[in-house]
């Protein structure tokens, strides 16, 4: 993911992007789930500093994206679907080949892309390893994966430097938050709602090295 270099932020519209999903109902992504209440509190505190310049609504739960998997529809077929049972099986084989043990991530500091502000995440290299394994080819020229926790979408074109300074001032002096990653989650969100919540599809358990579908999962290996 490229760090923003533009002078102004890029506003996002809270609408249904039909030209993107073409009626395919879900989009899938691998991520680190940050489900404890203190993560939501930290996100809300940081988000409040930029509230006047963000879209009012952002229902997506705190997480660190690992790899975008594309449009999915579950048991039914759809011409626009990119992620299905075969792709899930390939991802499971890929994660098994990594043989990663549980590890710690650290969230401290902040920055911004052109479209979204974020809290910065770091670790000893496992986040990057998972991303590179699941995304062996760069999706765009000059692509660079930057682990982060998204705070919302910009609603206005405003000076990037101002947003970065405001956010950094809001989080300055905060103690780092540390999470032990024990599962990698496959999640999905409704394509008609760019700011809607995530639904957990299944998890790759780092201790058992097994994939566990969640109740209501649309895909099973």
pLDDT tens for each residue of the chain, 221 residues long: 444 455 999 999 888 888 888 888 999 999 999 999 999 999 999 999 999 999 999 999 999 999 999 999 876 778 788 899 999 999 999 999 999 999 999 999 999 999 999 999 999 999 999 999 999 877 777 779 999 999 999 999 999 999 999 999 999 999 999 999 999 999 999 999 989 999 999 999 999 999 999 999 999 99
Rg (CA), the chain: 17
Q: Is residue 10 part of a domain?
A: no
Domain residues for the domain of 179 are: 18-213
In a domain, 109, yes or no: yes
C-beta neighbour count of 55 within 10 angstroms:
18
Residue 13, domain member (yes or no) = no
**Rounded Cα–Cα distance for residues 198 and 83 (Å):** 16
| 219 within domain boundaries | no
Q: How many domains does the chain have?
A: 1
Cβ count within 10 A of residue 120: 16
In angstroms, the CA 57 to CA 27 distance is 19
Domain with 139 in it: what CATH number?
Answer: 3.90.1140.10
């Amino acid at each position: 993911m490229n760090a923003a270099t533009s002078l102004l932020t890029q506003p996002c519209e809270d609408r249904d992007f039909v030209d993107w999903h073409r009626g395919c109902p879900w989009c899938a992504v691998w991520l680190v789930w940050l489900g404890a209440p203190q993560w939501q509190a930290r996100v809300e505190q940081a988000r409040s500093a930029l509230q006047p310049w963000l879209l009012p609504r952002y229902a997506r739960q705190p997480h660190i994206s690992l790899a975008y998997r594309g449009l999915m529809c579950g048991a039914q077929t759809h011409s626009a679907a990119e992620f299905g049972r075969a792709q899930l099986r390939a991802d499971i084989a890929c994660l098994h080949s990594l043989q990663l043990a549980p590890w710690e991530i650290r969230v401290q500091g902040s920055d911004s892309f052109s479209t979204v502000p974020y809290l910065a995440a770091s670790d000893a290299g496992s986040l990057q390893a998972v991303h590179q394994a699941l995304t062996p080819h760069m999706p765009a020229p000059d692509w660079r994966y930057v682990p982060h926790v998204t705070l919302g979408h910009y609603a206005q074109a405003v000076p990037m430097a101002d947003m970065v300074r405001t956010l950094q001032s809001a989080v300055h002096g905060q103690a780092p938050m540390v999470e032990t990653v024990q599962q990698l989650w496959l999640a999905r969100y409704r394509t008609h709602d760019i700011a809607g919540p995530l639904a957990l599809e299944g998890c790759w358990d780092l201790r058992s090295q097994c994939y566990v579908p969640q109740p209501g999962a649309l895909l099973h290996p």
